[in-house]
Structure 1
Amino acid sequence: MDPDVQSTRAVRRPPLDSSRHGQPARSPSGSRSPIDGVASRLCGTRMTCRWRRMVLSRRYCAGRGRPNRLRVRRKGSLLMHIARFAVVAALFMGTVVLFLAPEPASAQVTTGTLRGTVRGDDGAPIAEAEVTLINEATGDIRSATTGADGGFAFTNLQVGGPYHVTANFAGFKPSEEKGIMLSANRTRDVALALHLSEEVIEITGTAVARNTSNRTVVTAAEIDELPSVNRDPRDVVRRNPEVTVEGGARALSIGGANNRYNSITIDGVREDDDFGLNASGYPTRRSPIALSAVQELTVDTSPFDVRYGKFLGGNVNIITKSGTNEFKGSLVGTYSSDSFLGSKSGNRKINVDYRDFRYGVTVGGPVIKDKLFFLASIEGLNSTTPIDAGPNGSTASTVVTQVSPDDMAMVQQIAKDVYGFDPGVPSQSGKERDLKLLGKLDLTLNKDQRGSVIYQRTGGNSIQVGNTATQSLLPLSSNWYDARDTLNMFTGRWASDWSDQLSTVAEANVKLVSSRVPSLNGNNFMAAIINTGAANQPGGQGSIRLGPDPSRHANRLDNDVIHTKGEANYLLGANLLTGGVEYERTYIDNLFIQNALGTASYASPTAFANKTPTQIVYANSTTLNPEDAAANWHVGLWTAYLQDQFKLTPDLTLQGGLRFEMYQTGSRPPRNQNFVNRYGFENNGSLNGRDILEPRLGISWLPLENLNVRAGAGLYSGGTPAVWMSNNYTNDGTRTFSVTNRTASVINGFNGRDIPQAILDAVKNGAGNGNVDVLDPDFKIPSVWKIGAGADYFLDIPGTGEYGKSLELRGNYTLTKVRSGVNWMDLRRNLAILPNNIPIGNTPDGRPLYDPNFNTARGFDMELTNDSRGYGNVASVVVQKAFPFGLFASASYAYTNTQEVSPGTSSVSTSNYGIVAVVDPNHPDLAVSNYERRHRFTGALEYSDTLVNRIVEAVGSEAPADVKRMKTSFGVFMESRSGQPYSWTFSGATAAGGTDNTGQTLSRIFGEDSSIASRNRELFFVPQESRTCMDTFTSGCDVVLKGITKDEFNTFLSRTGLDAYRGKISPRNAFYGPRYNRVDVRLAQDLPTPIAGQRGRFVIDIENFGNLLSHNWGLFRQVAFPYYTPAVNVDVDRATGAYVYSSLRSANPTQGPSTTDLLLSVWRLSIGVMYDF
């Protein structure tokens, strides 16, 4: 079976517990080795202290300075608030009636449902028939009695199976169905017919899957066949055509949405990056779960079930394996190194130090047969991972053309000789470790009471670069940092059947995440930026960065979450009612001060040697103790939901419900009176009392025996990173202050460690005047509408026999409309009380022009606000077929058209504001999304056969029995997708008055703080050819070309496609990088085993196989983050008002401004041994 799509009619395909290639079925049980003594080693003092902090949270997280705060009055009528309260109260009371008071719990859905009807020979429903359901793997037995309509339902069923259902009624022979496999949050329908006959009526694999959403389901057996060098669930989810996994961080985007907007749940518990620091979407740098511990993985782009929430993109739901009545397990070990790595990409060679060793053990089985089961898993990683950049002329993966080898060597020597600091090197391999532990107990107390306890721990490190190397920027290893993350998760769950109609589940979990980011060469030195090369050299000036990355100067995070949940299911005739209440409480302890060690900029290596910086940026607590600026706060989220799944007819199921969410917190940022004086509203707003009601509706219709039609609509909220709100608690303007000092008498002689006293005094005196992050008083919870429709069709082609049967076609369309999105505004922009802060005119393209004496270091007040613009259209189609001779083939295509206002690519508000290509900084235009990949094609081929036995037979011999069973497998995954959208912008000329740097030049033109303007984000203006002059201004000119001929300029515009926007500002993300094509391959050969029923395999995984065949294939090329690139340097002729363009960038006719990431563009191979027992 293809992992992209689970069959909606099992009658059309083999039962899920059998292999599509005819090999023995894999057990749904997990496998891993026991974890001896783990709990005792983990219950250390620090964890105990963190737990006590959570218990005593009201005192600990109350925040400073709470007295005399003013509460922001939200808009809205009293009637609206009364109505909202009535809704949540009704949902809550209705749920309480259905089940006992909820115990602590978690998030998404972890169990399956089996519904059915029992009818007689005449088709009439049979009431009071006895229905028995058996999980054949665990021996769990459930029973129910049919209602007046002949209906029955079993809820809260363990995922997997196989299940065996039997119906009995006096005077009739039993009817049974076998081989039923269940998926999380999917309802299986069965129709059992009782006859007045003498034999048992047996039906195998005819259960119909009810599904109202666009969902991909991948089982454990399918995961075992997929190529995955990294052994990461992201290698599985990319099989869905609407999912992309991209870049070195392997950012996961679903349906063209922000990679931060997804929800990742493991055994129903949210394990996404809820704080929002990791592009992967995980709470840790790597997957928190071992791939071989996964029983089932689902990807939902739009689940219309009200139990799903806290995402705007999509949901990835992972169910881990459980123990069964048989002892089973597996061993795995894989190895890769630079000997198994491609040496060339295009015309460039690569030579790095790389090793990767992964190992894992799983084991599961009974503690007490039919009663108590265990599953234990451990998976580890020891890796040496390269970061490879170098100056111009080097053979590094990333060549910084604007930095010469001599300049780099000079800067390195100066740092050692003058400052006594080791600056590091541009290229080296860092040691990385990772360890994942999972322990699980499942208890069946009796046929009506079941429970489970899960412990999970993940810890590891990853060497990261604070500033990614580009053509002009070279970071040395002292600018890198060691990202260390630890996750501890505790989960308890109890399910009860109180009657044939009523069942409940209560859950509890605690998640503790700790993150630390020490710099590689220590945090006892400044961050230094040293410019190299001529000021106006072609391509712009280069720079070298050394010393701790400014964002890692004072940085730590503890993010702890408690989830609670109770849910009930009640079968009322044809209605299956589901109601629940959840509570989630998040505790955050976050210290984050950029430039707390000081960041100094130098005009040249000579200035660096002479200790004459052009500026020093320093920030700290006004007490000069960084700890006094830590943000300690908490927020709670109440959720209540009620849903009805109504079988209108045997072929038509309607599902509708409401989900209500309300935030609650007593934590507020400290009040800043200066901010209130500036703007007339409070800076200490919070999420407290903000709520949202989310309606959902889904339909599943089976008009034909081989056709399932589904549709739905719903509102979805949440999923935005907590760090965006945490910024308001960190940057209140009262506890921290940032100084930018350019006075030579103050900053000359800076030794990189001792901040000049004048700067320290300015910080101490800056209380109340620091930069402020603030929440819009009318802020609404981010939300989107999703409307979807799709169909699953099984086609039999006449005259083709078994080869043309069960060709599966799957189509889906989803429309997403932003209801309340996010945007960041700088309130200080155009604030009249700041000197020279009001525009004095307009540039030739209509943008405001500012005074040449504009204060280029004026700071910011950043407001997190809403914007309702934005939408997405995503359509996909999948065609797949399992052939009787062991071949499975699949092909899919997805079209994505998404538009957004703010891409939200950062955890810092000034970056979210300042790294968007814009015309009006406070009101970015609606534009193509950063996350859109317009066209994506995927394909999969899998083939398995007893090849060894065939060879033995071909030479006239007979193989032993164990050799006859040995399989040879071959799997291929192919992907081709559109390139990264990008924009053309301006860079600032560096000769404005002979003193300004690029940021200051742009700052004085467009009215931005120089630290933002230096990011070169102002969109490029494309002049009409008739209004373009060379060298000197003439009447009617909008642009004067300086050092650029018209022919050169016109050729550049033609090659880049910019000439399509003559007389206009080129739009954001109107251009696309080169297409990316990749092929991954797995070869697996079964090995002889000494014991029957066990299986050994030798596995070879090859990533980017195309590059192995040709150095010019599989290249990963895109414009470097933040996905815009300068076309020219710009200045303004103040006398005439015309733009002055200089330093025209080159335009590669084949790949434009994109650069090639060599490490992502070469093939990589791993070898492994796997043993199942």
Structure 2
Amino acid sequence: MRKTYLLLTLLLLCVGISIHAQVTTASMSGKVTDTSSEAMIGVNIKATHTPTGTEYYTITQPNGSYSFNNLRIGGPYVVEFSYIGYNTESRTGINLVLGEDLKLNVVMREDTQALDEVVVVADKNPIISGSRTGAQEIITREKMDKLPTINRSLDDFVKLTPMSSGKNFGGVSYRFNNVTVDGASFNNSFGLASALGASGTEPISLEALEQVQVMIAPFDVRNGGFTGAGINSVTKSGSNEFHASVYMYTKSPSMMGYRVKDETIGVSEFSNHQYGISLSGPIIKNKLFFFINGEMDRQEEPISYTTANSAADATVLQGLSDFLGDELGYNPGKFDVNKTNTQADRITARLDWNINSNNVLSLKYYYLKSFNTNNPSTSGAPNNGRGPNAFAIPFSSSFYRTNNNFNIWMADLNTTINDRMSNYLKIGYSRLRDYRDMDGGYFPQVDILDGGNNAYTTFGTEANSYNNQLNTDIWQIQDNFLMNFGKHQITVGTQSDYRAFKNGFAQNYPGSWVFNSVDDFKFNVLATKQYMAAHNGSVQGFDIREFNPKDFGFGSNVTGITNSSSTGYQYYAQRYSMTDDFPFAEINVFQLGLYAQDKWTVSDKLNLTLGLRIDVPFFMTDLQSNDKVAAETYRDGIKIDVSKYPNAKPQFSPRFGFNYKPFDDENGSLQIRGGTGLFTGTPPYVWISNQAGNNGVLFGDLNVRAVKDKNDNIISDGRPSLGFTGNMDTYKPAEGSATRSDIAITDPDFKYPSLWKSNIAADYKFGDGWVATVELLYSKDINAIYHDNIGLYRTEQFVNDGGAGNARPYYNGYYSDREGNQKAANHVVMLRNTSKGHSLYTTFQLQKNFIDGILKGLYLNGSYSFGQSRGVTDGTSSVATSAWKYRAALDGNAEEVGYTAGSFDGRLLLSASYTANWSKYAATSFGLIYQRYRPFRYSYCYNGDANGDSQFSNDLMYIPANFDEVKDHLLPGDFDSQEDAWKAMNAFIEQDPYLSKHRGEYAERNGAVAPFANQLDLSVSHDIKVYQKNGRSHTLRFSFNIANFLNLLNRNWGVVQTTVLGNQQYQFLTIPKGQGPSAANNYTLKYTMAKDLDETFKDNLNDVSRWQMQFGIKYIF
């Protein structure tokens, strides 16, 4: 099959004929002079958007200047200049790019001179534009149609931005991007996912988009709400002609590779289909237009493991299912689940109304209903997870669905007030609903082990899914008032929004149990029922030790006591509400944004932009207080009040941009551009809401553990073992009191994230339209964000692990031996600002669009970007405590600077497209994207707790230079001697590209990088005109999109490498438990070396290393 698809692709390549809330508009400005170069005042100018007949009017000012603001993107436009006694000048073929200010200067001639029609800028490259200042990328509809997209996703195209790495831009995390469509927020602003919603589907159809703009450093103050990138899309609109298309895209197992070098990977049955239809046209010609797109996705993904290839036994599981039904009246669902589902239904609709020559109204609506099915969570799972895998088969009741639904309405009114003034008003409302649901109703989660430490099966409500929901409501308004005063275009405006969040999350709310075996569980249930029958239905006083397993038909090895670790302990956990109802974390935030700007056309060669933006967040939420926490004093004398958010603080963002053209003529053009300024974004609001949900008064926690000794005998600790009832309210205290829990707090001086960016670039147009660019971007953190555990105290000791003395301080637990007597909380994690962080990136780029000659229709673009980004944290977790404890560091409470996850050493990016017109009835388009990049960064950490903060696997390791630096630390472990362990350790360090270069140093956070990967994606489409009459045609389009085309050509190519021991934190040195310093001495760390580890990397056998193909068919009429 692989050869068949390769042959089909090559056939199309060779003989294609054989298969017959940001700125969402553009502007235009310039100067009108006579043949003596004198400015002409009062020239009448009309710009007509020919597809819709929309007309815009203005006249020239005393200095001959004019401007059209808030124009529709695209075109073509016809612009006519008329003046009494002069010939009418006409410019045609004008197409406008999103955010562009097209400069169009005209010389008027007296009516005695004959004129020819002038077709404008057929060879115009929007890079050479007086409005361009900072780093950005424009993705046109043509690029979306011709370049490869295996997922039909916006992400497939934003990667065309040179200074990007995955979804990160300029080294800044994706969490700080601002994604908009027609100005409507399409962010997951709460921060629980990388895109809008968490179902893993696309929020809007790629078919509905006209253009996409990726802005990393725009110095126009109208663009705000991000420190990473502003990703701004505009949808298609109707015209005076009716257009329609229907399409289908599909992927299947036969369209996927199964060989990675010498490995053969089975491809299970799956299906992936997308269907859609688009309609557009006039309702009233030249007046009212519509566009609508409807699309649906239907995907089924296989589950590789069932009882046929797992240690779990179908007979045992069926018996367990019968037992649950008979004894507890509970149906756990199926245990041989063989697939998961993803579905999405989308609608994009738009009306454009030319009310009159001065007012244009646009109405937009976006709809999404989607879900995907998920395997049981690995959070808090036994060693091997919960499956499905080679060890464990869970019941379907432990699976869960993630639902993501939204309705978004937008309206914008474009008003021309007079020749000098115009206004653009945009208002919108977004209703987003994310929630989880599951089969079987609510029931405690039960993990049953295999008699050791691995899971055997799981059933019941997934521990994180009870009332797991997020309701988001956003009201937004943006208004831009523009005034033209000759060389100055003044803008004043507002970009403000009100956001209301309601978030529900309570881990273990239905209760979570762990049992050592199926028989252990059955014995506990039967004993509990017998006890309750004898005690009027009460479980008070129940103790499993009072029952004999043999009386219930079980062997003496059955204890009914859980054994979820090597030490063995009974475990039951439950979080319960301290109020009458389930407590949701609710926060309301109003953000006021005001700005003013002057675009100053100093001369034909120099344009300056000067602006100031002010953003003020107001937290409008009443929170509960915690008197016990408020009474305590934490590190550095800090007192906290969980009932108060920070007061409103204005944040000022001044910006300056420039564009200078030393020369611009038929011999070439040189453009020097750039700017500097402050960019203020928004934080992931889940970090803010952590304070509302983790204040120590909303929830109580039960954690029951009956410890066993080394001989598996129960140690009486005064707590009875619990009996399983299936009732989630059985053990909830009648009058619960809040237990000691984690506290999240926001620093009273906290400010929204802000970053100072400086950009300088030169664009040189030469030859027949080639454009070379060199660009430099430097960013400095002003108010970055990190999490600080102010409830954790340092001791006077330090850790000796072979490195420099006093590099790593020692902590004594997370709530013991503190200064004072804090007992009301465990972790107390404060959201704070830091200014420690910076990045520097350079891009070299060369591109050309061939508009004539034998290569007409060819587009080439190549870039190489390199640099690095450093910061205090990546902020990868949504929970405050997790964000703190998962940050790799020497001292987890210090503002240590390391590489960010989005930092990249070098990225080569090539893209090309070409359309071959075989005849007036057939054409074939080819597109490719090639990347050479580093897939990820990672950190070298100890496996264990090196600094006594009770957090494991987040302590950066010391890389020994020689044996003398490990002889006091390295234990033999699984080796015969310390010498053998050192030989293995030294050999591993020497073969590793990062460790070998940093011997005698502490590893850096994200200091190590994966080997370079090479990926070539290819697109081939063939158009056949099946009908053509009176200027109208019907076209049938066949397309193939191939991801990792190199692997299709050769199974040894396109292979991505991953790490042997983990992609984020690599741990090959394990710290035994029970270590720590004496009262007076520093702590000498001991560790063991992993056995049979001789390579850092291995081939990644997953989809990323195998070719995939998507077939599409589209009918356009």
Q: Quick one: which of 1159, 1163, 1168 aligns to 2:1103?
A: 1159
Partner residue in 1 for 2:497:
584
Partner residue in 2 for 1:215:
136
Partner residue in 1 for 2:101:
187
The answer (yes or no) to whether the contact 1:111–1:159 under 8 Å persists in 2 is yes
2:1069 maps to a residue whose letter is: V
Q: Quick one: which of 971, 974, 991 aligns to 1:1055?
A: 991
Could you tell me how far apart the structure 1 residues matched to 2:73 and 2:135 are?
19
Q: How does 1:275-290 map to 2 (within 5 A)?
A: 275-280=190-195, 285-290=200-205
Could you tell me how far apart the structure 2 residues matched to 1:261 and 1:1115 are?
31
Partner residue in 1 for 2:713:
none
Partner residue in 1 for 2:929:
973
How far 1:607 moved relative to its partner?
7.0
Could you tell me how far apart the structure 1 residues matched to 2:761 and 2:116 are?
34
Residue 564 in structure 1 maps to residue 477 in structure 2 = yes
Q: Quick one: which of 1062, 1065, 1073 aligns to 2:1002?
A: 1065
Residue 1172 in structure 1 maps to residue 1116 in structure 2 = yes
In the superposition, the TM-score normalised over structure 2's length comes to: 0.83
Partner residue in 2 for 1:375:
291
Partner residue in 2 for 1:65:
none
CA change 1:1143–1:524 in 2 (3 A) is farther
Greater mean alpha carbon deviation, residues 778-787 or residues 514-523: 514-523
CA change 1:416–1:861 in 2 (3 A) is farther
Residue 1127 in structure 1 maps to residue 1068 in structure 2 = yes
Partner residue in 2 for 1:664:
618
Q: Quick one: which of 412, 427, 433 aligns to 1:493?
A: 412
How far 1:411 moved relative to its partner?
9.3
CA change 1:601–1:870 in 2 (3 A) is farther
How many residues end up aligned between the 2 structures? 986
1:928 maps to a residue whose letter is: Y
Could you tell me how far apart the structure 2 residues matched to 1:543 and 1:1072 are?
36
Q: Quick one: which of 832, 836, 848 aligns to 1:865?
A: 832
CA change 1:337–1:161 in 2 (3 A) is same
CA change 1:282–1:808 in 2 (3 A) is farther
Residue 339 in structure 1 maps to residue 254 in structure 2 = yes
How far 1:181 moved relative to its partner?
1.2
Greater mean alpha carbon deviation, residues 747-756 or residues 488-497: 747-756
The answer (yes or no) to whether the contact 1:659–1:694 under 8 Å persists in 2 is yes
1:813 maps to a residue whose letter is: L
Partner residue in 1 for 2:962:
1025
The answer (yes or no) to whether the contact 1:407–1:605 under 8 Å persists in 2 is no
The answer (yes or no) to whether the contact 2:197–2:434 under 8 Å persists in 1 is no
Residue 826 in structure 1 maps to residue 789 in structure 2 = yes
Could you tell me how far apart the structure 2 residues matched to 1:427 and 1:1157 are?
24
CA change 1:637–1:1155 in 2 (3 A) is farther
Deviations 1:367-400 (A, max 9, x none): 1111111111111111112454799x97xxxxxx
CA change 1:531–1:973 in 2 (3 A) is farther
1:147 maps to a residue whose letter is: Q
CA change 1:792–1:841 in 2 (3 A) is closer
How far 1:748 moved relative to its partner?
3.7
Q: Secondary structure at the match of 2:691?
A: helix
Q: Quick one: which of 1063, 1082, 1087 aligns to 1:1141?
A: 1087
2:1111 maps to a residue whose letter is: I
How far 1:650 moved relative to its partner?
0.9
How far 1:548 moved relative to its partner?
4.4
Partner residue in 1 for 2:743:
772
Deviations 1:867-926 (A, max 9, x none): 111111122222223343243332221113111211111211122112221221222521
How far 1:487 moved relative to its partner?
1.1
Partner residue in 2 for 1:512:
431
The answer (yes or no) to whether the contact 1:144–1:152 under 8 Å persists in 2 is yes
Q: How does 1:252-401 map to 2 (within 5 A)?
A: 252-280=167-195, 285-346=200-261, 347-386=263-302, 388=304
Partner residue in 2 for 1:141:
55
Residue 620 in structure 1 maps to residue 575 in structure 2 = yes
How far 1:637 moved relative to its partner?
0.6
Partner residue in 1 for 2:551:
none
Q: Quick one: which of 552, 564, 567 aligns to 2:465?
A: 552
Deviations 1:1062-1116 (A, max 9, x none): 4443222121123222111112112241234232111111122222223333334
Unaligned residue ranges in structure 1 (runs of 5+)? 1-22, 24-106, 246-251, 395-404, 535-540, 797-804, 831-836, 950-963, 989-1001, 1031-1036
Q: Secondary structure at the match of 2:939?
A: strand
Residue 984 in structure 1 maps to residue 984 in structure 2 = no
Partner residue in 2 for 1:1101:
1041
Deviations 1:615-648 (A, max 9, x none): 54634344376x4311222110111110110000
Q: Quick one: which of 438, 455, 459 aligns to 2:365?
A: 455
CA change 1:153–1:1081 in 2 (3 A) is same
How far 1:1038 moved relative to its partner?
3.8
Partner residue in 2 for 1:599:
512
Residue 226 in structure 1 maps to residue 147 in structure 2 = yes
CA change 1:528–1:369 in 2 (3 A) is same
Partner residue in 2 for 1:751:
724
How far 1:523 moved relative to its partner?
4.1
Partner residue in 2 for 1:935:
906
Could you tell me how far apart the structure 2 residues matched to 1:119 and 1:470 are?
78
CA change 1:615–1:918 in 2 (3 A) is farther
The answer (yes or no) to whether the contact 1:259–1:280 under 8 Å persists in 2 is no
Partner residue in 2 for 1:700:
659
The answer (yes or no) to whether the contact 2:350–2:364 under 8 Å persists in 1 is yes
Q: Quick one: which of 872, 887, 890 aligns to 1:916?
A: 887
Q: Secondary structure at the match of 1:1101?
A: strand
The answer (yes or no) to whether the contact 1:261–1:719 under 8 Å persists in 2 is yes
Partner residue in 1 for 2:820:
none
How far 1:683 moved relative to its partner?
1.9
Partner residue in 2 for 1:685:
644
Could you tell me how far apart the structure 1 residues matched to 2:587 and 2:435 are?
19
1:1106 maps to a residue whose letter is: L
The answer (yes or no) to whether the contact 2:511–2:575 under 8 Å persists in 1 is no
Could you tell me how far apart the structure 2 residues matched to 1:470 and 1:1164 are?
34
Residue 431 in structure 1 maps to residue 380 in structure 2 = no
Could you tell me how far apart the structure 2 residues matched to 1:773 and 1:1122 are?
28
How far 1:471 moved relative to its partner?
9.6
CA change 1:550–1:654 in 2 (3 A) is same
Partner residue in 1 for 2:1021:
1084
Deviations 1:831-888 (A, max 9, x none): xxxxxx8566644454344569986997312211111111111222222233432433
Q: How does 1:750-899 map to 2 (within 5 A)?
A: 750-751=723-724, 753-754=726-727, 760-761=732-733, 764-766=736-738, 769-796=740-767, 805-830=768-793, 838=795, 842-844=799-801, 845=803, 846=806, 847-849=808-810, 859-883=826-850, 884=853, 885=855, 886-899=857-870
The answer (yes or no) to whether the contact 2:797–2:1077 under 8 Å persists in 1 is no
2:662 maps to a residue whose letter is: P
In the superposition, the TM-score normalised over structure 1's length comes to: 0.79
Could you tell me how far apart the structure 2 residues matched to 1:512 and 1:927 are?
38
Deviations 1:912-964 (A, max 9, x none): 112221221222521111122321112123232234x5xxxxxxxxxxxxxx4
CA change 1:912–1:548 in 2 (3 A) is farther
Could you tell me how far apart the structure 1 residues matched to 2:849 and 2:748 are?
57
CA change 1:338–1:1049 in 2 (3 A) is same
Could you tell me how far apart the structure 2 residues matched to 1:762 and 1:410 are?
40
Deviations 1:139-180 (A, max 9, x none): 111211111100011111111111111111222112221111
The answer (yes or no) to whether the contact 2:811–2:949 under 8 Å persists in 1 is no
How far 1:585 moved relative to its partner?
0.4
Q: Secondary structure at the match of 1:303?
A: coil
How far 1:1024 moved relative to its partner?
4.8
Partner residue in 2 for 1:956:
none
